[in-house]
């Protein structure tokens, strides 16, 4: 996969790709990847992908998240808590990659 160019929004199809390119991401998606790695309890991108993509629910309240793009690869999420973050664009959640209906609580 090619390197992420400055001011370019990446369009990765796997969480491992977001993770492997984390250091070249802008601040907001990089922070989201770091939060997800903490949730997965590993820094190994492939193990994190395996753990995160198997989740059907995720609570990310109070995580100072702004960019939801890395979440678009978590195709099994049916329930997502995103309260008290700094989200202004929820379109990454409607990317069409989710196979299930997702209920997201954003307040």
Per-residue pLDDT reduced to its tens digit, 55-74: 999 999 999 999 999 999 99
Boundaries of every domain in the chain: 15-105
pLDDT average, residue stretch 8-28: 92
The rounded percent of the chain whose pLDDT value lies above 70 is: 79
Q: Spell out the residues 6+ positions from residue 44 whose beta carbon is closer than 8 angstroms to its own.
A: none
pLDDT at 90 > cutoff 80: yes
pLDDT average, residue stretch 41-66: 97
Cα separation, 25 vs 4, in Å, equals 7
Q: What does the radius of gyration of the chain's CA atoms come to, in whole angstroms?
A: 13
Contact 74, 55 (CB under 8 A): yes
pTM: 0.85
Whole-number average pLDDT of the chain: 87
């Amino acid at each position: 996969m090619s390197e992420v160019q400055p001011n370019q929004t990446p369009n990765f199809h796997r969480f491992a790709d977001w993770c492997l390119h984390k250091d070249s991401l802008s601040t907001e998606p990089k922070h989201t990847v770091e939060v997800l790695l903490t949730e997965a309890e590993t820094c190994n991108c492939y193990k994190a992908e395996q753990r995160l993509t198997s989740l059907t629910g995720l609570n990310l309240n109070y995580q100072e998240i702004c960019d939801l793009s890395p979440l678009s690869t978590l195709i099994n999420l049916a329930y997502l808590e995103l309260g008290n973050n700094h989200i202004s664009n929820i379109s990454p959640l409607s990317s069409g990659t989710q196979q299930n209906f997702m209920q997201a609580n954003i307040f």
